[in-house]
Amino acid sequence: MATTKEYSVEEKLKALIKVQKIESKLDQIQILKGELPMEVKDLEDEIEGLNARKNRIEEEINGIQEFIESRKEAIKDAQALEKKYEKQSENVKNNREFEAINKELEMQGLEIKLAEKHIKDATEELIEKSEILEKAKKQIGIKEKNLEHKKGELDKIIVETEKEETVLRKQVNVARESVEERLLFGFDRIRKSYRNGLSVVPIERESCGGCYNTIPPQRQSEIKQHKKIIVCENCGRILVDNDLADSVDI
Ligand SMILES: [Zn+2]
């Protein structure tokens, strides 16, 4: 601050209020920026999860299709054996041989029936899995559309806030120059120690606007007089009256 000019307490308070208002706006931008990329990230994670699920179902479908193919091969093999045994049965020499061949034929017949049953069951499963796959693909499509929309929104907001942020940063630097170093040091220290970033607060319903500790009437009127800088006994924030706070525009 300029050394040539002495500032009144009221001017000092106004300067602090201004810095606080701009800093609070910058805080809001940070919060906004902090949440939007997270939303996009969540959607990306969700889509990644859905894609993994889709791949798993596709693998399962491939497995079922391979199984069906192997059962079809088994039927072919059994049918070939059946043909072989049928041919052999034409040249049987005795009853024992005939029975043995018949048993083999029966076995191959059962083998074929079993493979057919397997194919039927697997085909049903295949239909079921295909339906699940379609649903998963649809879901991915919806989420991807949503992501695209959110990303667009985010990009837009980032561009918008970047402009606003640049303006506010310049404003806050100018505003800080008109506050005494000692006051600024205390201001920054308190701002950093509270999550809401409030260092200068108005009186709200007879209480400190930062910690809601009740302010006695005598102290309230002292605050309104702007004769000295008064801090909250409970939280250390600088207290200002509403009229003064409202009189400062940024
Ligand atoms: Zn307080």
pLDDT in tens, 60-115: 999 999 999 999 999 999 999 999 999 998 888 899 999 999 999 999 999 999 99
Ligand 1 center to 237 CA (angstroms): 6
Please report, as a single letter, which amino acid is at residue 194.
Y
DSSP 145-187: HHHHHHHHHHHHHHHHHHHHHHHHHHHHHHHHHTS-HHHHHHH
Residue 32 Rama label (left phi>0; alpha psi -120 to 50; beta) = alpha
Q: What is the dihedral of CA 5, 6, 7, 9, to 10 degrees?
A: 180
Ligand 1 center to 202 CA (angstroms): 10
Over 80: is that where the pLDDT of 58 sits? yes
- 133 burial (CB, 10 Å; 0-12 / 13-18 / 19+) is middle
Ligand 1 center to 228 CA (angstroms): 17
Confidence class for position 154, pLDDT limits 50, 70, 90: confident
Ligand 1 center to 239 CA (angstroms): 8
Dump pLDDT digits (tens) for 171-224: 999 999 999 999 999 999 999 999 999 999 999 999 999 999 999 999 999 999
Dump pLDDT digits (tens) for 193-206: 999 999 999 999 99
Confidence class for position 5, pLDDT limits 50, 70, 90: low
| Token duo for residue 154 | 């985010």
Ligand 1 center to 180 CA (angstroms): 22
Ligand 1 center to 225 CA (angstroms): 19
- Around Cβ 198, how many Cβ atoms within 10 Å? 21
Over 80: is that where the pLDDT of 117 sits? yes
Phi, psi of 91 (to 5 degrees): -115, 35
Ligand 1 center to 250 CA (angstroms): 24
| Predicted pLDDT of residue 1 | 47
Ligand 1 center to 234 CA (angstroms): 5
Dump pLDDT digits (tens) for 229-248: 999 999 999 999 999 999 99
Ligand 1 center to 115 CA (angstroms): 80
Ligand 1 center to 204 CA (angstroms): 11
Question: What gap in Å lies between CA 34 and CA 124, rounded to an integer?
Answer: 48
Ligand 1 center to 147 CA (angstroms): 43
Over 70: is that where the pLDDT of 25 sits? yes
Ligand 1 center to 212 CA (angstroms): 6
| Cross-strand bridge partners of residue 201 | 239
Ligand 1 center to 94 CA (angstroms): 110
| Predicted pLDDT of residue 230 | 96
| Predicted pLDDT of residue 2 | 47
Over 50: is that where the pLDDT of 50 sits? yes
pTM of the predicted structure, to 2 decimals: 0.58
Confidence class for position 160, pLDDT limits 50, 70, 90: confident
Over 70: is that where the pLDDT of 4 sits? no
Question: What gap in Å lies between CA 237 and CA 206, rounded to an integer?
Answer: 15
Question: What gap in Å lies between CA 44 and CA 174, rounded to an integer?
Answer: 41
